[in-house]
A and B are shown apart, each in its own frame.
Chain A
Amino acid sequence: MTSTSMKKSFTERCSQCAAVSWGLTDEGKYYCTSCHNVTDRSEEVVSTAVIPNTKINSISRGLRKRRKHEKGWDWYVCEGFQCILYHQAEALKTLGVGADLKSEVLHNLWKRYLQKSKQAYCKNPVRTRGRKVKVLEDNLQSSDWASEFELLSDTSCPLESGAEFQSDPQIPKPFPLTKASPKSEAADICSGSVDGVEYSERKEKGVLKMTVPRTLALCYLSLLWQRETMTLSDLLRFVEEDRIPYVNAFQLFPEEMKVYGRDKGIFAIESWPDYEDIYKNMIEVAIFLDLPRFPDITEDCYLHPNILCMKYLLELNLPDEMHSLTCQVVKMTGIGEVDFLTFDPIAKKKRTVKYDVQAVAVIVVVLKLLFLLDDKLEWSYSSLAEAYNEEHREDEPQFDFRKWYQVMKKTFDEKRQKREEARAKYSWKTKRPIYRSHIDKSVAYKRREMVENLQKQFSALVGSTPVAQEKGPSSFQFNWTDGDTGSPCFHGHSLQGLLKKKGQSLITKNSLYWLSTQKFCKSYCKHVTTYEESNFSLSYQFILSIFSFLLRIKTSVLHEEVSLIEKKLFEKKYNESKKRSRPKKVRRH
């Protein structure tokens, strides 16, 4: 059933909306009174006698005029979001996420959202209360609001069969409503969706309005529920790489879903998602949906700090041996506990763990434990390691911080430059311009055409140099073991020079430590502490900057996380320091 295949027996349902309610246009052609789809069949060809149970009404002039500039479906804002979610889920599937995520989890979350926001699956949906809708025909009284979301419901889309929770977007929904009354269109207030104007003005207490960033929050919630091997920073990176629809996701709407006017404020996005923002949204959505405790994050889960630390050690070209130290820190701080890691929106503590940031922060702490990072000790250890490696060429090399710094600095500078260039070249506009009203429509399309023409001209000048072949999606951004890159790999290097024997166990040579912060914000400003870069050693700044670049987060976010881990690690010291006037360095046991 697609909009193009019109040559069906006329007794069948409307190809657009599946309703059986035919009217006659002035030209004698049939049109569907519920969705205004005009068929190419005319009265002469098909006798009315063959169509039982159909009324033939002559369509009024006024309606025809309206149809001239908006030949599209009647669709609702929530359907738009549904479509976006559908495509996002599809994209996640192609990225290797299990199929259950879409059909089970995300589908249920979305249903729950519609229910909680009183848009469907409830007795008295919000739209009937909000605004009196003009219904053209009264032969639709049978179609109640529940059936409006027929396609979403379990009956039409059985989950057992693993079918898509949103049926093919080419199939329109049976919406028996007309769009917002034409009088409002004269002004700036109009929209392609039925309820776009009303939606953008709606401010209901206690209802969390759906936004495009919140679709990502929903995606992440379902990833978290499924304990998939994808962190939030990965998800956002895939968005920026255009692997998951987000910016201009509306261009994936079927052609007949016109997007303009107020829809712009709802669907047009001109920024990439921000980690903090999506994180915050995710918690808000989870609370709004009143979700139960999520499945446990145990030691064998990808999101467990021990596994993530391993991953980031590889990514950051650090010795594998550091893993035992990160595990120790995780154990001492208790951040590997199931109760700590598992997200429970109903519980009092309305926060969850930023798994990726936390894992990287653990690595920062371990680096501080090993090297102190005071711009002195790390370099003197490096000289020792260098001398050792010089003398023992045959042996397994000792980890040389200076050499690692040089390699990482070079690689990350290049990567940063490349990313900036790629960002500068990002094209934000689509083939479907969003105009503010019908008056602007032709202008917007003309402008679009012009831009395309000009772009064609300049792309002819760019030359045949092929754009570096796009790499497939990967949770890794760096590959150090690959000899081709020419950068040395430090994974196998040992930490021997940094540890010393004490009795049975090995302890770090360095016995000093400095805390990233002594002051935690206690007010309601919500951030943990501040990060004034210049107060810290250059090594620490460097490490924070490349680590946060890897996760595409602000350095201050990572700094906060480091502070939180230190708080747990040196809890006793913290309590002591509160009594005494803050000592700069803490001696470890």
Chain B
Amino acid sequence: MSDFDEELTKLASAEDGKRGNSVFSNHPGMHFPWLQDRIETVVTGGKKKRDFAQTTSACLSFIQEALLKHQWQQAAEYMHSYLQTLEDSDTYKRQTAPEIIWKLGSEILFYHPKSNVETFNNFADRMKNIGVLNYLKISLQHALYLIHHGMLEDASRNLSEAETWRYGEKSSSQEVLINLVQAYKGLLQYYTWSKKKTELSEIDKDDYAYTVKTRNMLSQSCRTSANICALLKTPGVWDPFVKSYVEMLEFYGDQDGAREILTNYAYDEKFPSNPNAHIYLYEFLKREKAPRSKLISVLKILHEIVPSHPLMLEFHTLLRKSDIEEHRKLGLGVLFEVLDFAGCTKNITAWKYLAKYLKQTLMESHPAWVEEEWKSRRSWWPVFHFSFFWAKSDWKADADLACEKAFVAGILLGKGCRYFRYIVKQDGETLKKKIKRMKKFVKKYSIVNPGVCT
């Protein structure tokens, strides 16, 4: 190793001397373009790398290049040669080969014009049986391919086969994969169920067929729940499974079951943070007509994860109506935070809410709340929202939005602010009254002393 270091420094200084102006520092972005070659020669120095290894790795990069350029035919050609890595005498390489071949091969077969479902099936069936560890993964991806091609029954059959696959300890170590396979099967069953549900809604309730259908659906849902349930106990992001499972539970009136699933999905700390989990729970509670305090507590978490979420406006209305002062104060903050995001700058509802709520807050004489929110935004909101440019373009695009914004600008920056002045000067016939009222209010309540701000 020390030899290598020495050589490196020697090389570095040689390079240095040649270039003259290159500076060698510990900057992380620095790299030596020749280092890779050096390392390769050092590592294999003495013992020459087998040409077999060299050509197959070259072959791999040719495949990748062909895939990148969508040259499926060339890719297939190189794949033909790359398959020999399955016979590599290097055990490690031989064992990793099936996965690489599966990934690249399935990609080629997915896009190749001459490929069809049959070829893909053949390939998948072969690859499943090379090496034990890939069976489930390939089965699952095979099923997804079939789903993609609308062959739901085949996909389902495939998943059933995978589900029953056992291989001693190897299968127990892949429990999550088995759960996932089952869950996908459940999802397919949900799909059938959902279709039947739509059919059902078109049939008269007194019809005989109705009872038969419902009975069918019930049995379907039983199997589905069994399939999905196991997966939902494993930490992870399982949105589509959760959603469909809950829908079925709710349909059959198992509200407690659904609530438990959703609560667990949202609050279990082992699960990764997932905004959708809270959204699902919130929507469920809303359907259930849960008390406001409960809804607020759910959205509070969502607010922490995604402050710009559309549901935040709903959150604001909930907070505004709350009896607790703390909540009402938060209600103001929520609006400010929504408007911090570039994607929300043209959200008229948000601006309307803010204008209205600012008015209410100030009339209820809580200017301190406004000051507190404004403190951190004073430096950038004027340019971000209230520039002269925005005044012109907002007025042109949406006069209502411009009015709401002007009001907020007036309150926060005073009547001298350019945005406010520009809008006020416009003579929209319909808005005349509104502007007049606005001017009056701003004069009275603006948190800024006139003349201080531009």
- Residue numbers of A with Cβ under 8 A of B are 264, 268, 270-272, 274, 420-421, 423-429, 433, 444, 447-448, 450-451, 453-455, 457-463, 465, 534
Contacts and interface: CB of A to CB of B under 8 A. Distances in A.
A451 B80 contact: no
Contacts, number: 92
Contact of B50 (A270, A420, A425): A270
B86 interface: yes
Given A271-B50, A451-B83, A459-B80, A421 B62 contact: yes
A423 B76 CA distance: 16
B77 interface: yes
A460 B115 CA distance: 9
Given A268-B89, A454-B123, 15 more contacts: A420-B58, A424-B56, A424-B58, A424-B59, A424-B81, A425-B81, A427-B84, A447-B86, A455-B80, A458-B76, A460-B114, A461-B73, A461-B109, A461-B119, A462-B80
B58 A448 contact: no
Given A424-B78, A450-B126, A457-B123, A463 B114 contact: yes
A461 B108 contact: yes
Given A461-B73, A463-B73, A429 B87 contact: yes
Main secondary structure of the interface of A (DSSP, over half): helix
Contacts of A463: 73, 114
A420 B62 CA distance: 10
Interface size class of B (residues with CB under 8 A): 35 or more
A454 B112 contact: no
Contact of A462 (B51, B76, B87, B89): B76
Contact of A534 (B18, B76, B79): B18
A448 B123 CA distance: 16
Contact of A453 (B105, B109, B126): B126
Nearest to B62: A424
B73 A425 contact: no
Contacts of A423: 51, 55, 58
A450 B128 CA distance: 12
Q: Considering residues A421, A455, A462, which has the most beta carbons from chain B within 10 angstroms of its beta carbon?
A: A462
B52 A270 contact: yes
Main secondary structure of the interface of B (DSSP, over half): helix
Interface of B: 18, 48, 50-53, 55-56, 58-59, 62, 72-73, 76-81, 83-84, 86-87, 89, 101, 105, 108-109, 112, 114-115, 119, 122-123, 126, 130
Q: Considering residues A268, A270, A423, which has the most beta carbons from chain B within 10 angstroms of its beta carbon?
A: A270
Nearest to A463: B73
B169 to A, nearest CB: 20
B87 A433 contact: yes
Given A458-B79, A462-B73, A463-B114, A451 B84 contact: yes
Contacts of A264: 89
Q: Considering residues A444, A451, A460, which has the most beta carbons from chain B within 10 angstroms of its beta carbon?
A: A451
A274 B47 CA distance: 13
Contacts of A429: 84, 87
A426 B81 contact: yes
A433 B94 CA distance: 14
A465 B18 CA distance: 50
23 contacts: A268-B89, A271-B52, A272-B51, A421-B62, A424-B56, A424-B58, A424-B59, A424-B81, A425-B78, A426-B81, A450-B130, A451-B84, A454-B83, A454-B105, A454-B123, A454-B126, A458-B80, A458-B83, A461-B72, A461-B73, A461-B76, A461-B119, A463-B73
Contacts of B77: 425, 458, 462
B87 to A, nearest CB: 5
Contacts of B80: 425, 455, 458-459, 462
A268 B76 CA distance: 27
A290 B122 CA distance: 60
A270 B62 contact: no
A479 B55 CA distance: 28
A367 to B, nearest CB: 25
Q: Considering residues B77, B108, B119, which has the most beta carbons from chain A within 10 angstroms of its beta carbon?
A: B77
Contacts of A426: 55, 81
A272 B56 CA distance: 14
Contacts of B84: 427-429, 451
A463 B114 CA distance: 9
